[in-house]
Amino acid sequence: MLNKTLAGFFAFFLGVFGVHRFYLGQWFRGALQFAGFWGIIAILNTNPPNDVEEVFGILLATLCLAPVLTAIVFWATPQEKWQAKYDKEALANSRQPQGFAALPPANTKSLKAEGIRYYRTGDYDLAIEAFLDAANNDLGDAGTHFNLACSYAQLGQFGEALRHLELSVTFGLPKPERIEKHPALSALRKHSSYATFRENNFRRLNLIELTTPAVRASPEIVEEEVLEDFNRPPTTPLSTDAPPPGPDLLEQITRLRELHDAGVLTQQEYQKQKEKLMG
C-alpha cells in the first residue's frame, strides 16, 4: 500500500532525482527526471555560451520546481481520489469489509429471502436471479422452485413457470394443493396449457414450450403472503437392513429419470438428487 504523505515528501525534497516516481512504480518517468537533472548539470558545467546557459538554467529551474508542485498536489488530493490514480489495488481492498479477504457466498436461505423481498416490491427479474442462485446452491429445494414458478408466472413466462412447478412437485413440495389455490399462479391456471399439465399429474413432459409472453398477472389479487418459503421435511438415513424403497420413493426416482431424459436435469444433477433420495 502506497502512502500519499510519503510520496509527497519524496516529491518535495528528492523530486529532482525522480525518487517520488520510483516510489510510485513509475520507473520510466523517474529515470527521465534523474537523467534530465544530471544532464543539464553536466551541460552547465561545460561553460556554454550565455544564451545556451540561460535556456538550460530555465530548464533546470523548471525541473526543480515541478516536483515541489507535484508534492503540494499529492498532499491536497483526497485519499480515495489519490489511491484511485496511483494505488488502485489498495483502494479495492479498503472497500471490502475489514477482516475479510472477500465477501462470503450467500447461502440458500438468504438467497431465497432476498428473492422474496424483490418479489414483494414487484421486481420479478431480480427475484428470479436470486431464486436461481438459491437453486444452484440446492437444486432439490422444492420451495425455491415453487417461488421461481410464481415469479415466472407474474412475468407471463408460463413455460418456465410450469417447468419449475414440475421440479417442485418432483422434489417433494410439502403443500402441493397450493398450486391450485395460490394467487400468484392465478393467471397461469387460466392458461390452456395448465389443464394438460394438471391432468398429467403436474408434469410438463410432452407439452409444447410456451414462448409467447402472456398478460402479466394482476397484483391486486395478492392479499396474503405471496410466496411461501417451504421447509423440506427432514430425511432419515437408511440403515443397512432397511426395507426396499416404497412406491413414493420409486415414483420420485422415476420422475427424476424422466426429467433427465427430457433434458430438464443434467446428468450431474440427476445423480445428485438420486443419491439424496436413496439416502
Domains of the chain (ranges, CATH numbers): 4-94 (no CATH), 108-231 (1.25.40.10)
Average pLDDT over residues 152-178: 87
Contact 213, 157 (CB under 8 A): yes
What's the pLDDT tens digit per position in 191-229? 888 888 888 877 765 444 443 344 444 444 333 444 655
State the pLDDT at residue 279.
62
As a whole number of angstroms, the distance between CA 168 and CA 209 comes to 18
Give the whole-number percent of the chain exceeding pLDDT 90. Answer: 10
215 vs 16, higher pLDDT:
16
Predicted confidence (pLDDT) per residue in 45-80, tens digit: 888 888 888 888 898 899 899 999 998 988 888 888
Poorest-pLDDT segment among 60-69, 145-154, 222-231, 260-269: 222-231
What average pLDDT is seen over the chain? Answer: 77
Euclidean distance between CA atoms 257 and 197, whole angstroms: 18
Q: What is the pLDDT of residue 20?
A: 86
CA–CA dist 20, 261 (Å, integer):
66
Which of 151, 140, 160, 159 minimizes the C-alpha distance to 226?
151
Q: What pLDDT score does 146 carry?
A: 92
> In terms of C-beta density within 10 A (0-12 exposed, 13-18 middle, 19 or more buried), how is residue 132 classed?
middle
The answer to whether 16 and 37 are in contact (CB under 8 A) is yes
Q: What pLDDT sits at residue 91? A: 60
